[in-house]
Every structure is written in C-alpha cells, then in structure tokens.
Amino acid sequence: MSKLIAPSVLAADFANLQRDIEMINNSDADWIHIDVMDGVFVPNISFGIPVIKAIQKHAKKTMDVHLMIVNPDQYISTFKNIGANNLTVHFEACTHLHRTIQAIQKEGMKAGVALNPHTPISVLEDVIMDIDLICLMSVNPGFGGQNFIENTYKKIIQLKHMIEQSGSSALIEIDGGVTDQNAHKLISAGADILVAGSFVFKSQNPSETIQNLRLLANS
Ligand code: DX5
Ligand code: ZN
C-alpha cells in the first residue's frame, strides 16, 4: 500500500478555508486531517461542528478527524453526520476505550486511537485487533508548529512489531512536527500515514510541499 499524506487544516488560513480545502483536493494529499480541541483535554480550542460542516461541503478527500476532547462518546454520531470517515479518540480521554471503538465502527467510520508522547504502546495490547488506525503523537497535542519528539521512532518500531505479531491490520499515523527532514525516516521505521500542518501551510507552495512529502514517503 502506498504511504499516505494528511495535511492538517489546523495550520490553514481560516479566513480562506475554502481555498485551502480546494488546494488539498487538487494536491497529492490522501486525507484531510481535522484537529478538534476542547480546551479541556488540551490547553487550546481549535474549531468545532459548524466549521467541520463547512469543510465537508468542499472536501473531496477522506476526512480524518482527530478528537482532542474529553467525553468523545457523546459526539460520535455527530461527527459521522458531518462527514468524518475516520474518527480518532485519545486513549487518555477514554475510560471505556473498547466500547468507544465499537461505537465508532458501528457508525460506519474507521476507529483510531491516539497516544500522547508519554503513553507507552503496551496500553494497546488488548485492543490492537479492534483498531483501524493508531495515531502516535510526536508532539504534545494542543498546538501546531512544535518540534518533533525523537522518541517517536522507538514507538513506531514497537508498534509495528505489535501489529505484525498480532495480525492486526491497523495503520500507523504520525502526528506532529513532520517535515521533509523526518518523513522518509518515519516511513522506514514503519509509519503508514504522515500528518503535516505547519510544514505544508507555512511553505511557499503548499501543493508542491505535499507532493514532495508524498514522494519522500514513497521513495
Ligand atoms: C497537534 C495536532 C496536529 C497538528 C500538527 O495537537 O494534533 O495534527 O495540526 O501540526 P504540525 O504539523 O504543525 O506539528
Ligand atoms: Zn492531529
């Protein structure tokens, strides 16, 4: 399977959101990564339901929604209704993670689980067979534009091993501080999807930057 690039709209120009979504539509991007922050689970508030509805109107790529919120169970059907294809919840925010995963899949979405940088891979042992996607946070969630945490490589290798040993078909997504400097190394370690926010949207030519990342990921 080719490796996927998911630009994060957190770094887009919100006053020109339609333009930036169309840029993603017309680029080599595979997914659109959408970060929802509630100011409780993470110390920042991004955007919510009305904005995602507006994105849905224009988005032509897989909507990969990353919930950095407490009580995600409360909103699962809402996110389905506004176009989420993948719904990722944080391990650290779910008391009944197995139930949450089932509820997401019951709605017909792919279920993802995100792990904060300090959370070990081992916590996934008993749900690895049930998950479609694991999002390894390579920065502390809450903000775009932070520096990549090097310990992530070790976690990718451990997770890849767990996936292979168990026979799970879960994909590994890396989120935070992804650039052209680490893209190839992340894929070599075992990543399947690279999320990139600032590196794409702060570049001179975002569409070309996406194309370059995709080439690096698949080289
Ligand atoms: C961080 C978000 C990321 C963020 C990545 O909490 O989950 O998706 O948009 O941004 P960059 O690529 O700028 O680190
Ligand atoms: Zn994210």
Total domain count for the chain? 1
Query: What is the per-residue pLDDT across 163-192, written as a single tens digit (0 to 9) for each?
Result: 999 999 999 999 999 999 999 999 999 999
- The answer, yes or no, to whether residue 57 has pLDDT greater than 90, is yes
Distance from residue 131's CA to the centre of ligand 1 (Å): 22
CATH number of residue 84's parent domain = 3.20.20.70
Query: What is the per-residue pLDDT across 15-33, written as a single tens digit (0 to 9) for each?
Result: 999 999 999 999 999 999 9
* CA distance to 35, 168, 191, per residue, from 7 (Å): 11, 26, 15
Distance from residue 214's CA to the centre of ligand 2 (Å): 18
Query: What span, in angstroms and rounded, lies between the C-alpha atoms of 40 and 29?
Result: 30
Q: Spot the catalytic one: 20, 30, 35, 132.
A: 35
Q: Mean pLDDT for the chain?
A: 98
Confidence of residue 76 (pLDDT cuts 50, 70, 90): very high
Distance from residue 105's CA to the centre of ligand 1 (Å): 25
User: Alpha-carbon dihedral of residues 161, 162, 167, 170, nearest 10 degrees?
Assistant: -100
Confidence of residue 1 (pLDDT cuts 50, 70, 90): confident
Q: What are phi and psi of 159, to 5 degrees?
A: -70, -40
Residues with CB under 5 A from ligand 2 (ion): 35, 66, 175
Q: Crossing angle of helices 49-58/17-25, nearest 10°?
A: 50
Residue 205 structural domain: 4-217
Determine whether the annotation assigns residue 108 to a binding site.
no
- Tokens representing 88 are 């990722």
40 neighbors 67 (Cβ within 8 angstroms) = no
* Residues whose beta carbon lies within 6 Å of some atom of ligand 1: 8, 10-11, 33, 35, 66, 139, 141-146, 175-178, 195-199
Q: Spot the catalytic one: 20, 38, 175, 192.
A: 175
Determine whether the annotation assigns residue 145 to a binding site.
yes
Instruction: Establish whether 38 is a catalytic residue.
Output: no
pLDDT at 120: 98
Q: Given phi > 0 = left and psi -120 to 50 = alpha, else beta, which region is 116?
A: beta
Q: Which atom of ligand 1 is least distant from the CA of 137?
A: 7
Determine whether the annotation assigns residue 91 to a binding site.
no
Query: What is the per-residue pLDDT across 114-145, written as a single tens digit (0 to 9) for each?
Result: 999 999 999 999 999 999 999 999 999 999 99
Asked whether the whole model's pTM tops 0.90, one would answer yes
Residue type, 93: A
**Ligand 1 pocket mutation, candidates 42, 92, 175, 180, criterion most atoms within 8 A of CB:** 175
* CA distance to 127, 139, 143, per residue, from 29 (Å): 29, 22, 21
Instruction: Establish whether 30 is a catalytic residue.
Output: no
| Alpha helices, H only, the chain | 17-25, 49-58, 76-81, 97-106, 152-166, 183-189, 198-201, 206-217
Q: Is the ipTM of this complex over 0.85?
A: yes
195 neighbors 10 (Cβ within 8 angstroms) = no
